[in-house]
Amino acid sequence: MKIVTVVGARPQFIKAAPASRALHAVGIEEVVVHTGQHYDPSMSAVFFRELGMGEPAYNLEVGSGSHGEQTGRMLVEIERIITQEQPDVVLVYGDTNSTLAGALAAAKLGTPVAHVEAGLRSFNRNMPEEINRLVADRLSSLLFCPTENAVDNLAREGMTEGVYQVGDVMYDAVLWASGRANYEQGSSIRSSTNYELGARYGVEEGKYLLATVHRAANTDDLANLAGIMSALGRMGEPVVFPLHPRTRKALDEAGIDVAENVKAIEPVSYLEMLSLEKDARVILTDSGGVQKEALWLGVPCVTLREETEWVETVECGWNRLVGADPDRIIEAVGAPRPEGSPPQLYGDGHASERIAAILVGGEYEADKEVVGQLSER
């Protein structure tokens, strides 16, 4: 079997890494296509090296542009690659323009599409990511869902064939990064994620906030961006703020100053980000992946959006939705820490192995033996 994997953005590199290892373990030939949607070295090349993925077979280097322009350039090139490689399946991840382009190109050529993170919904069609998810799911023959909610979303939209609840591949990645291949359900990963970093930025464990902002709804809306930056400046404690290139550009163009307590730093690698997350008192973010990482690391999260695809994190009390209103943000950051430990909501760390087993065997029931074999490696 040959699979073409299409990735293009930082979160997709993280998701693809454990899946690639599982695919190779069962003998699937994988051809990785990097669209170049994220092209800054700190957002791209460092992740391939750190996650052990090696260099992609193709790098389309599409760079930035409007949604239509970027997706169109990807579509032309991915179609050419699929025609040349003749894969059995095209594998796409998440909800980016790379996801949409990969799914469209494959479907138009009659190649089956497999979508990892299928079924997620924010129910906000003003978000480009929501449109990408909806289209990718409709075009997919295999829909790999991280949660029961995702399965239910697809069922409500009439999609029940080829739907599998496998767990979350990002959880697989966190466990791999923590060095716990033989992870036992219920144990903590905080103690094993020992990639210490805070001292570099003059902050102490548990005595700083970590913030990330990158979604267009916040960076391209001056009122939202100003509101978030105002809140960060009013925190009264250090805020470590890795700056996405889009966010840095938006701040510069708007003339918004970064407050003295906000330590604006360059984007960090995956392992560095996990280190900063695990030692933070609270995480503020508009990233879907960071919301989940906060939960897995036992750190309260404040989401700078009005909705989230990861509704389970809110329902269990470890995540608060506050939008970009400064007062709501400050109130949420000052809220008491949830009692106890976060629940385990996103599988057992073997989602990638289940995906590989399904692709090889075609039946979900056949995955147990393959998962067991892979877990021993």
Active site residues: 214
Q: Where are the beta strands (DSSP E) in the chain?
A: 2-7, 29-34, 58-59, 89-93, 113-116, 142-145, 163-165, 209-212, 239-242, 262-265, 282-285, 301-303, 319-321
Kindly state the tokens that stand for 341: 């430990």
CA dist 176 and 252 (Å) reads: 37
**Pick from 167, 187, 191, 196: nearest CA to 178:** 191
Can you state the angle between helices 351-361 and 169-177, rounded to 10 degrees?
Answer: 130
In DSSP notation, 142-203 reads EEEESSHHHHHHHHHTT--TTEEE---HHHHHHHHHTT-TT--TT--STTT-----GGGGT-
- Which residues, 6 or more positions from 248, have their beta carbon under 8 angstroms from its beta carbon? 264
Helices and strands in the chain, H and E counts:
16, 13
State the distance between the two ends of the chain, measured CA to CA, in whole angstroms. 21
The 8-class DSSP code of residue 257 comes to P
Q: What are the percentages of helix, strand and coil residues in the chain, rounded to 5?
A: 45, 15, 40
Please, where are the H alpha helices in 45-147? 45-50, 67-85, 97-108, 128-139
Phi, psi angles (nearest 5°) of residue 327: -65, -40
Q: Which 8-state DSSP code applies to residue 338?
A: P
